[in-house]
């Protein structure tokens, strides 16, 4: 019983992390219709900010990481994504791939290709005793952050003017524009939030693994994309659910899979979206589309 | 083929010969250079085969797949294991099935087996993957690549695990790689110019319009995906026999990005683009790599070792290409279609005296007495009733006008009739057959064609191609489809534009093109959604004449949604008025115009004036 509860908390913490990553991807997708592969680098660069600023107080380093995430996301939008805003989906996707490659290689060239270790605060590597359970503080932090950040995002989207504008742009970009929504600003805000979410995920990942590497964003971004696909494109809530499903499944499979199959966990987890999409091609929450233009 | 073909013979020859010459040139350079240069060129040619594999799927479907490298990986591993000697295999992959482990095949059979296996895997994997939506395919194929990597890296007793395989016979030389690359070019061009290739290109241009001419999206994508997987398998097999070593990362993320970059830089839509892009990116990559290893520029500056420089360069090239030249260096054109060459190779103008070719479609005009009929069709969108108990009857050979104010439900009714929308209740009958739940593709094969208010042209195809693909959509072979298209274009007066891009036609021609595309499917019933919208009076008169001729020549019945009352009154023997989802009246144009409810419904609108003939 204790074991089960323990694994469930582990699973939820991983699911929360995946949800944060997936929401960052879904946000820019809904507003701009762009699948952004560089989101992984929006996770990686803040993690390197922690590495570079390792000597400074932790709070300062984390703030810098957050600022890095926001800055790089806004910059990438301005320099690379805005010129291809009206290009087709594939062109945008390839553009984001180019941005990802450049950012990754710049870090490889300036820091190192190999991974570097980062010291994490002692407090986060300890566990807290709650009843019969011993829960790592990092998991508590991850769960708390997930709830706070996603709650805050919900408030922003549904209770503020810019949130309303973002939802309007997500529904019908051209119409929203005609009604006075400032497209450039809304997209910039979406990227800024997306960068902040990625930075938070990046910090949590570093705290968990204790190291940074130029390619550390790859797995998270793929997981995030698959979560978005599972949840249904264009649905923020779908991304949250998709992320939770993937994280919980991945974590539980790691615990309960027979020893011989554990190495193939990723193969099983990544086959899941295909299975779901066969049954529901539009994803769990996605609406059937495609008839609107007739 | 006459000048009325999909392209002139000269253009086809130039389009095939130029990429082949480029490959021959590269092969010659490799063969005459140092061993190191030969190795580089050989590996580039193997990459080219993979990029051509990507072109077959991505270029023709317009859908990005990041999973094709998974097929190169499977082909590479299989070819390696089939050729490594039994003793070495036992060391590296002890649990491999004996049949493969003991085999020590020659390069050619191992490559062919690898190709067949990759193709088979692509067909099996593609079956579920192609079911996912256009948006999801890039991601679900990526998931497939991760699955392949994960299995290869962890199935140690069979694949050698993360350390990979060594002692693979190095049998691929620059000549054999060049030969295979040439063969891959031929395959890619043959597919692009096949009926199936054109059907897939039509789905790339517009999925909805492609469905309206009977094209099955999944089927066409799956075929291209399979051919693509086969080519990638060949490329993978040849590449491992060049390098002699193989690991799970050989054909993983980095290789996926590199090959996609090559395709996009060259221009995904053309085979020439795949070749040019591969040559350009490989050359730049090689130069950057030399700099990366520490080189001196002209003996003046010495640059230290800078890892990652090549990748930064690649990323920047890709980024700049997407921003400045989104269609790639080739602009998505084949060699025979490039500006200056195109003007010289333009097919002769068709002679008007040429006897009419095959009639579109094979069916006699008045085959049955059935007609198209809707019975009690109702439909509501989130509680809003769009159609209520609508009845409609279109006998063979008749022209029925469907009029009513905006929002009356006219287009929705056409969507229901043509299978794009299922009604909540009620039935649709085609020649007494209940076709209510049929797909648009099945209906168009049964003789029900339609056009769209928005036109939905296949902008990237030529006028000739976009009409011929209408016939190909319902299963007509390529040659006959071309004859049908030439005939339809001539009757509609579009022959002069046959070789120009469909997307660049003026609005009037766009309308006619939509009608031509639908006529090429050989419809017995044609549903026209506002064909005269946006046309001036002169163009309207021409349209009426053309439609009247079409009714006579092609013998098909027409359901005409139109706001221009002159067009409706000129063409239609009966008119049905729809308002708020309900039929107000059906009758001859005179009866309808005299009907009090119609007069009332249209009072204050442009119809109040009646026909100003």
SS3 of residue A294 by DSSP:
coil
Residue B383 above 90 pLDDT? Answer: no
- Judge whether B315 lies within some domain: no
User: B524 with B447: CB under 8 angstroms?
Assistant: yes
DSSP string, B143-203: HHHHHHHHHHHH-HHHH-GGG-B--------HHHHHHHHHHHHHHHHHHHTSHHHHHHHHH
Q: Which of A100, A105, A233 sits opposite B135 (nearest CB)?
A: A233
What pLDDT sits at residue B60?
96
Determine whether the interchain pair A101/B257 forms a contact, defined as Cβ–Cβ distance below 8 Å.
yes
Is residue B491 one of the residues assigned to a domain? yes
Rounded to 5°, angle at Cα A14 from B161 and A239: 105
Q: Which residues pair with B528 in a beta bridge?
A: B560
Smallest CA–CA separation between A137 and chain B, in Å? 31
Name the domain count of chain A.
1
Closest CA to B66 of B227, B238, B217, B253: B253
Span B94-105, average pLDDT: 80
Residue numbers of the domain that contains B175: 13-249
> Distance of CA B89 to CAs B81, B92, B115, B236, Å?
7, 5, 21, 19
Which are the contacts of B97, defined by CB distance < 8 A and separation ≥ 6? none
Asked whether residue A199 carries a pLDDT value surpassing 50, the answer given is yes
Identify the bridge partners of residue B250 per DSSP, sorted by sequence position.
Answer: none
- State the helix-helix crossing angle for B253-266 and A89-110, rounded to 10 degrees: 130
Residue A286 lies in a domain: no
Per-residue DSSP letter, B496? G
On the CB side of B7, how many CA atoms lie within 13 Å of its CA?
26
**More confident site: B170 or B601:** B170
Tell me if B362 is assigned to some domain: no
Which of the pair, B390 or A6, is modelled with greater confidence?
B390
Q: Is B466 within a domain? A: yes
**E strand or H helix that includes residue A273:** helix A265-279
DSSP helix/strand/coil, A291: coil
Is residue B2 scored above 70 in pLDDT? no
* Separation CA B213–CA B526 (nearest Å): 12
Tens of pLDDT, residues B118-169: 999 999 999 988 988 887 888 889 889 989 999 999 988 888 888 888 888 8
CA atoms within 13 A on the CB side of B527: 29
Could you tell me how many residues make up chain B? 613
Q: Which residues of B touch A264 (CB under 8 A)?
A: 150-151, 154-155
Residue A45 domain flag:
yes
> Average pLDDT over chain B, rounded to whole?
85
Q: How many domains does chain B have?
A: 2
For residue A289, tell me if it sits in a domain.
Answer: no
B139 with A229: Cβ contact below 8 A: yes
Return the number of other C-beta atoms located less than 10 Å from residue B169's C-beta.
Answer: 19
- How high is the ipTM of this complex? 0.85
Q: Which is it for strands A127-130 and A211-212: parallel, antiparallel or unpaired?
A: unpaired
Who has greater pLDDT, B586 or B546?
B586
In this complex, do A290 and B138 lie within 8 Å of one another by their Cβ atoms? no
Q: Is the dihedral of CA A211, A212, A216, A221 positive or negative?
A: positive
CB B218 within 8 A of CB B104: no
CA-to-CA distance for B66 and B60, rounded, in angstroms?
15
pLDDT at B341: 59
| Residue B71: half-sphere exposure toward Cβ, Cα within 13 Å | 35
Minimal Cβ distance to B150: which of A98, A225, A267: A267
Instruction: Work out the pLDDT band at B358, boundaries 50, 70, 90.
Output: very low
Torsion region of B334: left, alpha or beta (phi above 0 gives left; psi -120 to 50 gives alpha): beta
How far off is chain A from B337, nearest CA to CA, in Å? 23
The whole domain housing A125 covers 2-279
Domain containing B554 — which CATH number?
Answer: 3.40.50.300
Option in A80, A90, A270 nearest B147 (CB): A270
| DSSP 3-state of B302 | strand
Pairing type for strands B433-434 and B582-587 reads unpaired
> Does residue B348 carry a pLDDT above 60?
no
Residues B555 and B365: beta-carbon distance below 8 Å: yes
In chain A, whose CA is at the least distance from the CA of B455? A294
pLDDT band at residue A133 using 50, 70 and 90 as cut-offs = confident
B194 Cβ contact list (under 8 Å, min separation 6): B478
Positive or negative, the Cα torsion across B15, B16, B18, B19?
positive
In a domain, B454, yes or no: yes
Tell me whether strands B295-297 and B301-303 are parallel, antiparallel or unpaired: antiparallel
Distance separating alpha carbons of residues A239 and A23, to the nearest angstrom: 5
The maximal CA–CA distance of chain A, rounded, in angstroms, is 60
Of B227, B249, B271, which residue constitutes the final position of a domain?
Answer: B249
Q: Is the pLDDT of residue A135 over 70?
A: yes
**What contacts B127, CB < 8 A, 6 or more positions away?**
B222
Mean pLDDT of the region A127-155: 89
Domain end marker among B200, B226, B249: B249
- Burial label for B419, CB within 10 Å (0-12, 13-18, 19+), is buried
User: Could you tell me the CA-to-CA distances from A25 to A34, A163, A193, B147, B577 in Å, in that order?
Assistant: 9, 16, 10, 22, 48
B522: left (phi over 0), alpha (psi -120 to 50) or beta: left
Contact (CB, 8 A) for B72 and B247: no
What CA–CA distance (Å, rounded) separates B493 from B486? 10
Measured torsion, CA atoms of residues B265, B266, B270, B275, in degrees rounded to the nearest 10: -140
Domain identity same for B51 and B191: yes
Q: Angle at which helices B35-54 and B68-83 pack, to 10 degrees?
A: 130
Contacts of B137 in chain A (CB under 8 A): none
Per-residue confidence at A288, pLDDT binned at 50, 70, 90?
very low
**Is residue B155 a part of any domain in this protein?**
yes
Domain contains A204: yes
pLDDT at A6: 85
pLDDT of residue A292: 34
User: Quick one: pLDDT at residue B609?
Assistant: 47
The residue among B519, B492, B543, B526 whose CA lies nearest residue B396 is B526
C-alpha–C-alpha distance, residues B64 and A110, integer Å? 32
Residues B188 and B45 in one domain: yes
- Res. B41: pLDDT tops 50: yes
pLDDT at B432: 86
pLDDT at A220: 92
pLDDT(A100) > 60: yes
Q: Which of B180, B135, B211, B140 is nearest to B469 (CA)?
A: B211
**Quick one: which of B98, B102, B106 has its CA closest to B86?**
B102
Rounded to whole angstroms, how far apart are CA atoms A44 and A57?
20
Rounded Cα distance, B254 and B50, in Å: 14
Cβ–Cβ gap A101/B64 under 8 Å: no
Closest residue by Cα to residue A42 from A153, A226, A196: A196
The reply to whether B486 falls in a domain is: yes
Q: Give CA torsion, residues B292, B297, B303, B305, to 10 deg.
A: 20
Regarding whether B376 and B245 lie in a shared domain, the answer is: no
Residue A165 lies in a domain: yes
Better pLDDT: B433 or A133: B433
In the three-class reduction of DSSP (H, G, I as helix; E, B as strand; rest coil), residue B403 is classed as strand
pLDDT (0 to 100) of residue B429: 94
Distance of CA A270 to the CA centre of its chain: 17
Q: Per-residue pLDDT tens for A253-283?
A: 888 888 888 888 888 888 877 788 777 777 7
Q: For residue A291, what pLDDT is reported?
A: 34
Q: What does the pLDDT average to over A64-91?
A: 90
Residue B192 · residue B253 · CB < 8 Å = no
Nearest CB to B322 within list A94, A108, A263: A94
Residue B294 confidence (pLDDT) above 90: no
Angstrom CA distances, B271 to A13, A174, B341, stand at 48, 35, 17
A177 in a domain, yes or no? Answer: yes
Q: A76 lies in a domain?
A: yes
Q: How far is the C-alpha of B576 from the C-alpha of B562, rounded, in Å? A: 11
Q: Do residues B561 and B412 both lie within one domain?
A: yes
- Is residue A162 situated within a structural domain? yes
Distance CA B451, CA B440 (A): 12
Closest-CA distance of chain A to residue B134, Å? 10
Please state, in angstroms and rounded to a whole number, the distance separating the CA atoms of residues B70 and B253: 10
Which DSSP category does B337 fall into?
Answer: G
Distance CA B599, CA B597 (A): 5
Last residue of a domain, one of B249, B275, B295: B249
B318 to A87: CB separation less than 8 angstroms, yes or no: no
> Is pLDDT larger for residue A38 or for residue B86?
A38
* Closest CA–CA distance from residue B351 to any residue of chain A (Å): 37
Residue B567: pLDDT over 90: no
Residue B212's closest chain A neighbor by CA?
A294
Note whether B241 and B386 are same-domain residues.
no
**Closest-CA distance of chain B to residue A41, Å:** 13
Most confident of B99-113, B182-196, B571-585: B182-196
Give phi and psi for B248, each to the nearest 5: -60, -25
């Amino acid at each position: 019983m204790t074991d089960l509860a323990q694994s469930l908390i582990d699973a939820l913490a991983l699911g929360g992390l995946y949800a944060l990553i997936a929401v960052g991807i879904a946000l820019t997708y809904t507003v701009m219709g762009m699948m952004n592969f560089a989101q992984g680098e929006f996770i990686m660069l803040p993690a390197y900010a922690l590495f570079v600023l390792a000597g400074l107080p932790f709070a300062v380093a984390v703030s810098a990481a957050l600022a890095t995430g926001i800055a790089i996301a806004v910059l990438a939008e301005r320099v690379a994504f805005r010129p291809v805003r009206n290009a087709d989906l594939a062109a945008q996707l390839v553009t984001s791939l180019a941005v990802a490659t450049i950012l990754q290689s710049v870090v490889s060239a300036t820091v190192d290709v190999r991974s570097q270790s980062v010291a994490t605060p002692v407090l986060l590597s300890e566990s807290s005793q709650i009843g019969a359970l011993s829960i790592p503080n990092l998991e508590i932090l991850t769960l708390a952050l997930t709830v706070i950040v996603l709650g805050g995002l919900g408030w922003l989207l549904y209770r503020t003017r810019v949130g309303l504008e973002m939802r309007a742009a997500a529904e019908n970009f051209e119409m929203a524009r005609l009604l006075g929504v400032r497209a450039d600003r809304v997209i910039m805000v979406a990227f800024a939030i997306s960068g902040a979410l990625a930075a938070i995920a990046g910090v949590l990942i570093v705290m968990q693994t204790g190291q940074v590497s130029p390619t550390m964003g790859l797995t998270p971004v793929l997981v995030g994309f698959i979560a978005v696909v599972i949840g249904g494109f264009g649905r923020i809530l779908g991304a949250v659910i998709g992320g939770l499903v993937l994280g919980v499944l991945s974590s539980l499979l790691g615990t309960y899979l027979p020893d011989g199959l554990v190495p193939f966990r990723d193969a099983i987890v990544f086959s899941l979206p295909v299975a779901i999409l066969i049954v529901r091609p539009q994803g769990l929450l996605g609406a059937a589309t495609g008839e609107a233009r007739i | 083929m006459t000048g009325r073909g999909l392209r002139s013979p000269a253009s086809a020859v130039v389009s095939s010969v130029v990429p082949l010459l480029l490959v021959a040139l590269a092969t010659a350079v490799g063969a005459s250079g140092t061993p190191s240069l030969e190795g580089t060129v050989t590996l580039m040619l193997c990459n080219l085969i993979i990029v051509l594999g990507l072109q077959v799927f991505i270029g023709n479907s317009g859908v990005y797949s990041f999973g094709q490298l998974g097929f190169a990986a499977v082909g590479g591993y299989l070819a390696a294991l089939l050729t490594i000697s039994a003793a070495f295999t036992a060391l590296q992959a002890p649990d491999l099935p004996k049949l493969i482990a003991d085999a020590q095949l020659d390069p050619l059979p191992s490559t062919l087996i690898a190709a067949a296996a990759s193709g088979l895997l692509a067909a099996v994997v593609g079956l579920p993957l192609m079911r996912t939506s256009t948006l999801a395919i890039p991601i679900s194929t990526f998931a497939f690549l991760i699955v392949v990597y994960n299995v290869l890296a962890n199935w140690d007793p069979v694949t050698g695990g993360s350390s990979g395989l060594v002692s693979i016979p190095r049998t691929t030389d620059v000549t054999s790689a060049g030969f295979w690359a040439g063969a891959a070019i031929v395959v890619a061009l043959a597919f692009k110019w096949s009926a199936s290739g054109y059907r897939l290109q039509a789905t790339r241009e517009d999925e909805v319009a492609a469905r309206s001419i009977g094209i099955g999206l999944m089927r066409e994508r799956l075929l291209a995906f399979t051919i693509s997987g086969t080519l990638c398998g060949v490329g993978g097999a040849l590449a491992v026999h060049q390098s002699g070593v193989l690991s799970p990362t050989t054909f993983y993320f980095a290789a996926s990005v590199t090959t996609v970059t090559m395709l996009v830089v060259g221009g995904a839509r053309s085979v020439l683009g795949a070749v040019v892009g591969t040559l350009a990116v490989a050359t730049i990559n090689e130069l950057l790599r030399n700099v990366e290893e520490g080189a001196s520029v002209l003996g003046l500056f010495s640059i230290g070792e800078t890892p990652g420089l090549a990748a930064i360069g690649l990323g920047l090239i890709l980024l700049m290409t997407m921003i400045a030249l989104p269609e790639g260096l080739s602009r998505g054109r084949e060699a025979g279609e490039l500006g200056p060459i195109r003007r010289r190779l333009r097919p002769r103008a068709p002679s008007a005296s040429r006897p009419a070719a095959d009639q579109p479609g094979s069916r006699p005009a008045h085959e049955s007495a059935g007609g198209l009929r809707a019975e009690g069709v109702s439909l509501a969108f989130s509680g809003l009733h769009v159609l209520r108990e609508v009845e409609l009857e279109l006998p063979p050979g008749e022209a029925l006008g469907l009029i009513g104010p905006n929002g009356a439900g006219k287009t929705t009714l056409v969507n229901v009739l043509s299978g794009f929308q299922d009604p909540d209740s009620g039935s649709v009958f085609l020649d007494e057959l209940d076709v209510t739940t049929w797909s648009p593709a099945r209906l168009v094969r049964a003789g029900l064609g339609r056009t769209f208010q928005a036109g939905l042209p296949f902008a990237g195809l030529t006028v000739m191609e976009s009409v011929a693909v209408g016939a190909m959509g319902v299963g007509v072979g390529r040659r006959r489809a071309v004859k049908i298209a030439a005939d339809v274009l001539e009757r509609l007066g579009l022959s002069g534009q046959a070789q120009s891009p469909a997307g660049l036609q003026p609005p009037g021609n766009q309308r006619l093109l939509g009608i031509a595309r639908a006529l090429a499917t050989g419809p017995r019933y044609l549903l026209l959604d506002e064909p005269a919208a946006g046309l001036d009076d002169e163009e309207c008169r021409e349209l009426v004449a053309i439609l009247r001729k079409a009714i006579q020549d092609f013998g098909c019945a027409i359901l005409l949604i139109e706001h221009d009352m002159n067009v409706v009154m000129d063409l239609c023997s009966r008119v049905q008025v729809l308002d708020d989802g309900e039929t107000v009246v059906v009758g001859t144009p005179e009866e309808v115009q005299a009907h009090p409810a119609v007069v009332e419904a249209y009072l204050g609108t442009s119809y109040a004036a009646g026909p100003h003939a």
